[in-house]
Amino acid sequence: GFLPLQGHVVRNWKVRWFVLLQDKLLYYKIEGGKKEPSPKGRILLDGCTITCPCLEYENRPLLIKLKTKTNTDYFLECCSREERDSWALDITGAIHAGHPVQVQELHRMKNSFKLLENISLHNIVERMYDSSTGIKLTRNVDQGNRYKETFTGSALVDWLISNSFAVSRFEAVTLASMLMDENFIMPVGVRSTEATRSSDPSEKFLDDSTALYMFVESSKKNTSSKEEVHFNISELSGTIVKQGFLVKQGHKRKNWKVRKFVLRADPAFLHYYDPTKEDNKPVGGFSLRGCLISALEDNGVPAGVKGNVQGNLFKIITKNDIHYYIQASSKAERVQWIEAIKPLT
């Protein structure tokens, strides 16, 4: 699949097509909408160490870090927590495939539950507040209400693990629940607030990227004024239905670029982002109301499409008669996107 990769010499980000093999991770360039036949590079997994979650880059919270036995660092970015965890699990399995004892230890650590002795919640909160290494606070919108200085449940779980307060997501959720019970953090928004009413203590805190929380101390200033909100906040406030990397044909130069697509409902919009850029702002997007979407045949190049593309194309025509040509990585992925978008048109 597609993943942004940070370069070694010039520390910029490029999107590459990754293929995981038993002992190596290959990555390819995409030119003209088609994968090049020879890999651009490879990451040898023997002796590799993996860090996930990796929070070394503030603007890129969904990173996987691979350090080879020659001490070369590779940073790979995913578009969702679920995708990141899936890649990390598969890569970890490949790294330890020849070492069954390490695999057993990995499963033991993952399934065990033992909080650090004499753990101090005050110390955790103090670290969370740290301006350089603490948890990143962001603005969010939920059910029309605007909040600033919030963080998601999954972001807190990632932060607790990366700072060695917990070794598994289950432990981190338990710690986060304790922080909530002791009135250090509080839920904001419908999803996280409703979870607190659960009779099961393990379900009161949500390890979820749509559940919002904030410091209790910040609760008095949790709403932002209209002047601070970007002009397009309404179209970016919808519930995320689906996200992932797709290849899109440009309108003017007709070249093909990998973009991160985010599909939202209520209101229904499809936005796309440049995953090589540091800011998390869309470079384009459009309302899905009145749009037409259809798959394109793979035999030959359809009219309006330039370049020697790989196939798995679909087209979206907006109500303003703007044509978007998009390429998925497989037929199954194309079907998934079409089925997700159609009900929102």
Q: Write down the pLDDT at residue 224.
A: 41
Cα(203)–Cα(305) distance, rounded to whole angstroms? 48
Q: Write down the pLDDT at residue 199.
A: 64
Q: Write down the pLDDT at residue 229.
A: 33
DSSP 220: G
- Residue-wise pLDDT tens digits, 60-76: 888 999 999 999 999 99
Please check whether the domain covering 234-342 is classified as CATH 2.30.29.30.
yes
Please check whether the domain covering 2-110 is classified as CATH 2.30.29.30.
yes
Q: Write down the pLDDT at residue 225.
A: 38
Q: Which residues lie closer than 8 Å to 31 by C-beta, 6 or more apart?
A: none
Domain residue extents for the chain: 2-110, 121-222, 234-342
- Residue-wise pLDDT tens digits, 203-228: 789 998 889 999 987 654 444 433 33
**What dihedral do alpha carbons 77, 202, 265, 258 form, nearest 10°?**
10
pTM here is 0.68
The domain made up of 121-222 has a fold known as Arc Repressor Mutant, subunit A (1.10.10)
Cα(44)–Cα(29) distance, rounded to whole angstroms? 18
Cα(272)–Cα(286) distance, rounded to whole angstroms? 9
CATH topology match: 121-222 vs 234-342? no
Element (H, E) at 174: helix 169-181
At 271, the amino acid letter reads: H
- Report, as ranges of residue numbers, the positions in the chain whose pLDDT lies below 70: 9, 98-119, 143, 199-202, 218-232, 299-301, 308
